[in-house]
Structure 1
Amino acid sequence: MTTVDRPGAGTVELRPVDVDSFRGLLRRQASTVTVVTTPGLRGNRMRPDLPPAGFTATSFTSVSLDPPLVSVCLGRASSSWPTVEQAEHVAVHLLASGQQEIAQIFATSGIDRFSAHPGWTTGPFGVPLIGDALAVLLCRVVRRIEAGDHTILLGEPLALGAGEDGDPLLHHRGGYTTTLGDWPEAW
């Protein structure tokens, strides 16, 4: 499509975007791995007799500091979507480097994720909380924004918890990894 060439800057060839090239580009980005959970719901009402929902997400980010807002994206074809669509509260768990198994469980469709990972408790608003995460944010869902085949959930943090300090679990090139190098303490 276009070639950009500046002395000393190298050459960048730009080409049209298709699904495969877009997916390939995104695999180059290292993203933190989170698990998002919400209680079992029917008609916006928490139902202890219904299974909770949870999913692995690498699309978590801070949106605003004042007021505090975060976002996470979920595909509407996801098995968790019918419950998350009704959720008033969610918990976002930042996974630690040793929690690849938890990430994989919550990324797997067609299983009871909470039976497969029994290391959780019920928190405020009935939201499942996963133990030993690096950090947990309990959020009130303040808005849903449809974006292509996904929905962006905007959450207002209501409470937070921090586990032991450690390295985050990262997703990079289609797999799980830990930090990509040693960083100075100030980081």
Structure 2
Amino acid sequence: MSKVSIDATDSLPAEDFKAVFRGHPGGVSVITADAGQGPVALTATSVASISVDPPLLVFSISALSSASDVLSRAQTVVVHFLDVHDIELAKLGAASGVDRFAQDQTWTRLSTGETVFDNVRAWVRCEVIERVQAGTSTVFVARALQSHIERDSEPGQPSHGLVYHNRAWHRLDENSLLTS
């Protein structure tokens, strides 16, 4: 397979690209990591499942993120999957210039050393298996090792999901259900 050359002058302007994705809602997650100098956390809407066997997920982080240096060196990460009960954690992970571990949000360390925020809807501990530079971001491929679900719902039923859409937080609930 040949490699395709990309000429930046042929690309969609950044503002147009951002406008397209503002209208595309994304599930909200907080990712934590620690490469030995203390934990970092950030809010992400780029988390997606890519394989069930083996269990793999993917997410991307901007090089401008204050957590990017630690994530570039961390062997493992914890991906926290949030719902509306976790909105304060989502906002904390999205805030600039704050110590995300000095706030009111409680957290612990797993026996394996990773940081986990308490009482979130669900989390998955992952081993980073690949990092791919893509433009101004890094795409992470991670293998799920361990999980915990604090709050679950029946398949097809509303569960108070949290999404980010058009620069705002939104709730998914029984009123947002179109069809089952």
TM-score (norm 2): 0.84
Partner of 2:91: 104
The answer as to 2:12 corresponding to 1:25 is no
Map residues 163-182 of structure 1 onto 2, 5 A cutoff: 163-165=150-152, 166-179=159-172, 181-182=176-177
Distance, in Å, in 1 between the alignment partners of 2:104 and 2:165 is 23
How far is 1:183 from its partner?
Answer: 5.7
Aligned residues: 162
How far is 1:111 from its partner?
Answer: 1.0
Further displaced range: 52-61 or 167-176: 167-176
- What amino acid sits opposite 2:177 in the alignment? D
Query: Structure 2 stretches of 5 or more lacking a match?
Result: 1-10, 153-158
Query: Structure 1 stretches of 5 or more lacking a match?
Result: 1-15
How far is 1:17 from its partner?
Answer: 2.3
Percent of matched pairs sharing the same residue = 28
Report the structure number with the largest CA radius of gyration: 1
Per the alignment, in what secondary structure is the counterpart of residue 103 of structure 1? helix
How far is 1:67 from its partner?
Answer: 1.3
Per the alignment, in what secondary structure is the counterpart of residue 113 of structure 1? coil
* Alpha-carbon RMSD: 1.6
Partner of 1:74: 61
Partner of 1:9: none
TM-score (norm 1): 0.81
